[in-house]
Structure 1
Amino acid sequence: MSPTTAPTESSPTPQPPTPDTIFHLSLPPQPPNPTAPTILLLHGLLSSHLEWSLVIPHLQPHYHLLLVDLPGHSRSSSLLPPYTIPSLTSHVATLIQSHARNSKAHIVGMSMGGFITLHLARQYPSLCLSAFVSGATPFEGITKWLAKNNWILYYGFRLSNAMITDWTYDWLCRMIGMKEHRELRQEILTNVKWELIRDVYASIVDGFTMEGMAGVDQVRCLTVAGEKQDQVEVTRRVGQVWKETGVTGRLGSRAFVVRGAVHAWDLQFPEVFAAGIRSWAEGTDLPSEFEVLE
């Protein structure tokens, strides 16, 4: 499968969004297994379901997969604001109820998708079999300042997209070990919208604090940081909050780091990312690349 093309050979026709639903792909396990649980994959800000193209081959033989373009993104770009985390989460909850096996799913979220996953676990725990998030911790320091002054991020995205050619972008990705994703890159360029950046960053600042992470206490949750670009120490403290409030002892929720990983390491180490998802969903030992943060 091409790393920039969503799977189609064994997939049903993609479901286009109606005025109040999000675009999604429903991928059956191979061979079809009616008892296979659902894994829902939620992409990062400005991205699309193509972000998971390299991870899918390692999951689809074993699970029913749901992939989406979240509201305001790509094939769901016609859905109107607000694009806050609670609003995006309500769309996702409706999708799980309608299309996941037994109306439940293992939820996997990268970055913005991770914050949606955490909010799902807090507000709709009955829909979540487990939660796996990467690069989604309460903002602190310069990250929090930028999120509060999100107009800087908006114009930064616009400027960098205008200045960086496809060739330069591909070269930069190779330098940090990310796989080619030219088709996804084109969708990211299209998805840069002020309303998205404004609503998502503001709602993360307002809705996610270190103290609030103790409220993720009804769903077994893994939070992981990519060592090179994510907030490793903040991720460690999330794990400590879960341990100190008894969530770790009761559910097994923990924090991890993957050494050498960038923020979007699903595009860097897709086999390891997928192996981690499988291990967490199945309750088995995580791959050796996952280092627990105590």
Structure 2
Amino acid sequence: MPASMRRMTSSSTSNSGWYSSRDATLPIGDRTMSTSSWTTVGQPDTASDEGLFFTSLNSLAPVTVVLLHVGMSSHLEWSHTWPELTEYHLLIPDLPQHSRSRHVKPFSFGLAADHVAQMIRDHAHDGHAHMVGLSTGGFIAMEVIKRYPEVVTSAFLSGATPLKDMWKRINSQPKLAFLGLSVLLHSPKSLLFKATGWAPEFQNDELLKEIRRNNTSRLYETCTRETNNWDRSDMVDVGKRDKRIALVAGGKQDNVEGMRDMGQLLESLGSNDGRESRAFVVRDAIHAWNLQFPVLFARGIRAWIEKTPLPEAFEPLEKGVMLEEESSS
């Protein structure tokens, strides 16, 4: 594993308009400091072409958070979420074989975890970070926990649980699924938004361009295979690392019951921090709901990190408590 990672700054991160105007302060030693004091973009550093591309924001903030995107996407996926997290130092990479990390290949959860862990060691404050991952990014965050638990403080993960049999059957025909996604990505935007649930007000032409470029048959099939191979035994390995993990299901598209089961599994395997692991559902959320409700997504991240109550939209998936849709089916 290379000791240095490639650090660059995308043009979108240099626009001060991305940042939240929320007035917030955090304690620093015996005083408080406004979060606006560290709302800065890291300087470009292209010393190595071997590691992941990533954007570093708010580098003076004392706590590091890593944001990991969905498969076929890029770090730009988080462009409406990161302005709401200005009190944290953010590391936001492109995953292997995606966008500006296209040179890091072949893609696998293991390779991604190796590189993300090295990025944390080299660039996160004190060599550890809170992990945030969505879908593919969530699985990779858990792979980091399995392999390198020492670099992870806690995790906030959405849409990442072992697949149900129905989805495994769909994923067993990756070429057909890839074709369907390709057609959708090149359809009129009105159809794309309706099919995916991506809120039009958060539409990003640059992100859509990156998704189209990343969506190759080889990468799609690899991501599908890696997801299909993730099973309960992997979740057991994660639970044994005793990390405090929030598992969140998008109520409209995710496996809610599976998320409930995995949340209980992680809690049962924990001995200290892991005992605080919990599962939640956001009823109206799609799978990639950082592109639907980015402010709510950010509020959930902040509450989990700070150990404060999550927003009301996050309904705990507790044993014996069923959603209305489940009880009526």
| 8 Å Cα contact 2:50-2:103 kept in structure 1 | no
Partner of 1:195: 218
In structure 1, how many angstroms separate the alpha carbons of the residues matched to 2:272 and 2:296? 23
The 5-angstrom pairing of residues 136-147 of structure 1 reads: 136-147=160-171
> Does the 8 Å contact 2:243/2:270 carry over to 1?
no
1:23 to 53, 56, 63: 53
- Aligned partner (choices 54, 69, 83) of residue 94 of structure 2: 69
Distance in 2 between the 1:222 and 1:19 partners?
Answer: 34
Give the structure-2-normalised TM-score.
0.79
**Alpha-carbon distance change, 232 to 14 in structure 1, aligned in 2, over 3 angstroms:** farther
Within 2, Cα distance between the matches of 1:243 and 1:266? 25
Change (3 A) 1:202 1:98: same
Provide the residue aligned with 2:13 in structure 1: 7
Indicate the residue corresponding to 1:184 in structure 2.
207
Query: Distance between the aligned counterparts of 1:5 and 1:287, measured in 2?
Result: 32
Give deviations 1:244-277, integer Å, cap 9, x for gaps: 4456885300110001001111111111110110
User: Partners in 2 of 1:124 and 1:174 — Cα distance?
Assistant: 34
Shift of 1:64: 0.5
Question: Structure 1 CA distance, aligned partners of 2:309 and 2:152?
Answer: 20
Q: Show the 5 A alignment for 1:150-165.
A: 150-162=174-186, 164-165=187-188
Query: For 1:200 and 1:17, how far apart are their aligned partners in 2?
Result: 29
2:202 counterpart SS class: coil
CA distance in 1, matches of 2:218, 2:197: 31
**Contact 2:269–2:275, Cα closer than 8 Å, also in 1:** no
Q: Pick from 227, 231, 235: which aligns with 1:213?
A: 235
8 Å contact from structure 1 (residues 173, 180) kept in 2: no
Cα-Cα RMSD: 2.3
Q: Count matched residues.
A: 283
Q: Is the 8 A contact 1:74 1:191 kept in 2?
A: yes
CA–CA separation in structure 1 for the residues paired with 2:287 and 2:114: 25
Q: TM-score, normalised by structure 1?
A: 0.88
Taking a change above 3 Å as real, the CA distance of residues 143 and 5 of structure 1, as seen in their structure-2 partners, is: farther
Residues in 1 aligned to 2:197 and 2:159: alpha-carbon distance in whole angstroms? 21
Larger RCO, structures 1/2 (Cα 8 Å, 6+ apart): 1
TM-superposed CA distance for 1:123, in Å, is: 1.4
2:288 is the alignment partner of 1:264: yes
Secondary structure in 2 aligned to 1:87? Answer: helix
The runs of 5 or more residues in structure 1 that have no matched partner are none
Which consecutive unaligned segments of at least 5 residues does structure 2 have? Answer: 1-9, 17-39, 319-329
Cα distance in 2 for partners of 1:41, 1:183 equals: 18
Taking only the aligned residue pairs, the percentage that are identical comes to 37
